[in-house]
Amino acid sequence: MKKRDTIIIIVVSCILSYLTIKLQFVPTTFVFTSPAHAFDFEKGQELFKANCSACHANGRNAIVPEKTLEEEVLKVNGMKKVESITYQVTNGKNAMPAFGGRLTTENIEDIANYVIIQSREGW
Ligand code: HEC
């Protein structure tokens, strides 16, 4: 085998293992955000604490106890999607206030991604 071939094999396997590692850690929800806006986990966390934790501390729900932010519950209620959470946070629902006038869409998408990741990893 030529030296050049060996180098190519090494480079390709490095790229493949890099991708394997990277794909494990990139949240799948990332795909749903627009390319112009890479989701910011820390911002989502900060905004969640400031705006949501009064009612949703630790992923629970202080007002309607069964509507938690736990993964299984979100799934059953069709809420385990960035789009659904963004919609509900923007427009509100029943006793949940609307945040559309107070937060930007970008902020709300950061929160939605944060909620989905937390639900998956456990609050
Ligand atoms: C004043 C209390 C309150 C605040 C603040 C609040 N929520 Fe809620 N949230 C609720 C209530 C009540 C529901 C249940 C609504 C319904 O379906 O009747 C709910 C439902 C949800 C659901 C759906 C849960 C499910 O299992 O179906 C999500 C997701 C959610 N809230 C996210 C958020 C996020 C993100 C924020 C912050 C931007 C937030 N909420 C702020 C009260 C609140």
Residue 80, domain CATH: 1.10.760.10
pLDDT of residue 55: 98
Buried b (16+ CB within 10 A) or exposed e, 41-57: eebbbebbeebbeeebe
Q: Domain count of the chain?
A: 1
User: Rounded CA gap, 121 and 105, in Å?
Assistant: 24
Asked whether residue 66 carries a pLDDT value surpassing 70, the answer given is yes
pLDDT of residue 10: 67
> pTM here?
0.78
Residue 6 lies in a domain: no
Beta carbons within 8 Å of 118's beta carbon, 6+ residues apart: 59, 69
Residue 22 lies in a domain: no
Cα(33) to ligand 1 centroid in Å equals 21
User: Rounded CA gap, 67 and 80, in Å?
Assistant: 12
Residue 14 lies in a domain: no
Residue 9 lies in a domain: no
Residue 107 lies in a domain: yes
pLDDT of residue 38: 86
Give the CA diameter of the chain. Answer: 69
Domain boundaries, position 101: 32-121
Q: What is the pLDDT of residues 104-116, one digit of tens each?
A: 999 999 999 999 9
Residue of 96, 99, 110, 115 with the most ligand 1 atoms within 8 Å of its CB, for mutation: 96
User: Rounded CA gap, 85 and 9, in Å?
Assistant: 44
Cα(55) to ligand 1 centroid in Å equals 7
Residue 78 lies in a domain: yes
Q: Which residue has a Cα nearest atom 7 of ligand 1? A: 96
Task: Count how many Cα atoms sit within 13 Å of the Cα of residue 34 in the half-sphere of its side chain.
Answer: 5
Residue 5 lies in a domain: no
Cα(113) to ligand 1 centroid in Å equals 15
Residues 25-33, mean pLDDT to the nearest whole number: 52
Residue 89 lies in a domain: yes
Quick one: pLDDT band at residue 70, thresholds 50, 70, 90?
very high
Higher pLDDT, 4 or 57: 57
DSSP string of 3-68? HHHHHHHHHHHHHHHHHHHHHHHS-GGGGGS-TTS---HHHHHHHHHHHTHHHHGGG--SSSTTS-
